[in-house]
């Protein structure tokens, strides 16, 4: 059975793609078959971080040019990737029907992965919310900035009120220290739980680091079998805590519905 995990945020630019790509690499290194879906439609850039330029993307599938299995790029034995494409206007304006077509289609794959990570666009727009609601688990990335807090709160409030989602994993990115990361989580949790009956789980932090920045500039993801840096370890630690995030059973259509 596949566990699908949406990586989301309220505010843009907080590190969703960085985290989705490196978590996918971390799971694959642990020999867990993983599929990374870049669903930040119109703004897709996970392929840049992976240092690849896939021939086909989700756009080819949506327009009917290609079956889903043909838009999947195999990166190694355990890691597959679907690019969100760069046909900006087309994919940004997906209809409900097209979104449902994407979500439903994964069930037809012959080889279902153990994990599917979905890099979802920032904010509480319908497209992001639909992909979020269709995943088993949701991870919200926040930084210590007040704007990130406020936007993440708005995202969780919308998910809770409009989609009845209650369980969220929280990752603190660009943390100045592990202690600060935990303090930031505690602060965010006390705000969110004061007003909403939600269940937030702190599953780790990524340090604010030049190495993370450089990995994007050089188009080489950080996590690899040879890299034992603190940054790489923090991604591995988060991947080992994914099981702590509880599923949302909200009765909407799901990826890999059986």
Ligand X SMILES: Nc1ncnc2c1ncn2[C@@H]1O[C@H](COP(=O)(O)OP(=O)(O)OP(=O)(O)O)[C@@H](O)[C@H]1O
Least Å distance between CB 256 and Mg ion? 23
- Cβ proximity to ligand X, 120 vs 166, nearer residue: 120
Return the number of the residue (153 or 256) whose C-beta is nearest ligand X: 153
173 near Mg ion, rule: CB under 5 A:
no
Sign of CA dihedral 22, 182, 143, 247: positive
Measured from the CB of residue 205, what is the shortest distance to ligand X in angstroms? 9
DSSP string for 130-179: HHHHTSSEEEEEE-SSHHHHHHHHHHHHHHHHHH---EEEEEEEEES-HH
Q: Is 44 in the site for ligand X (CB under 6 A)?
A: no
Q: How many CA atoms lie within 13 A of 78 on its CB side?
A: 13
Position among 23, 34, 40, 60 found at the interface with ligand X (CB under 6 A): 40
Which one among 17, 22, 78, 128 touches Mg ion, defined by CB under 5 A?
A: 17
Q: How far apart are CA 55 and CA 192, in angstroms?
A: 42
Nearer of residues 166 and 221 to ligand X, judged by Cβ? 221
Is residue 14 near ligand X by the rule CB under 6 A? yes
Stretch that binds ligand X, among 13-21, 30-38, 158-166, 247-255 (CB under 6 A): 13-21
Provide CB contacts within 8 A for 89, sequence distance 6+. Answer: 42
Residue selected from 3, 18, 57, 128 as contacting ligand X according to rule CB under 6 A: 18
CB 19 within 8 A of CB 117: no
Tokens standing for residue 231: 């940054």
Residues contributing to the site for ligand X (CB under 6 A): 9, 12-18, 40, 43, 122, 173-174, 206, 208-209, 212-213, 216
């Amino acid at each position: 059975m596949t566990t699908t995990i949406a990586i989301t945020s309220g505010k843009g630019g907080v590190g969703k793609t960085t985290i989705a790509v490196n978590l996918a690499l971390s799971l694959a290194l642990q020999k867990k078959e993983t599929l990374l879906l870049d669903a930040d439609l119109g703004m897709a850039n996970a392929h840049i971080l992976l240092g690849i330029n896939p021939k086909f993307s989700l756009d080819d599938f949506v327009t009917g040019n290609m079956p889903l299995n043909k838009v999947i790029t195999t990166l190694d034995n355990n890691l597959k990737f679907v690019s969100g494409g760069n046909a900006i206007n087309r994919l940004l304006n997906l209809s409900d029907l097209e979104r449902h077509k994407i979500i439903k289609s994964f069930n037809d794959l012959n080889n279902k992965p153990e994990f599917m990570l979905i890099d979802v666009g920032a904010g509480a727009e319908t497209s992001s919310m639909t992909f979020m609601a269709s995943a088993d688990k949701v991870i919200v990335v926040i930084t210590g900035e007040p704007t990130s807090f406020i936007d993440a709160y708005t995202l969780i409030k919308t998910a809770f009120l409009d989609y009845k989602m209650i369980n969220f994993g929280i990752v603190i990115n660009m943390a100045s220290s592990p202690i600060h990361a935990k303090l930031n989580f505690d602060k965010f949790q006390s705000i969110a739980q004061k007003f909403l009956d939600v269940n937030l789980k702190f599953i780790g932090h990524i340090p604010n680091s030049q190495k993370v920045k450089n990995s994007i500039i050089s188009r080489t993801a950080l996590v690899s079998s040879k890299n034992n840096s603190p940054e790489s370890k923090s991604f591995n630690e988060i991947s080992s805590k994914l099981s702590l995030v509880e599923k949302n059973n909200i009765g909407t259509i799901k990826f890999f519905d059986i």
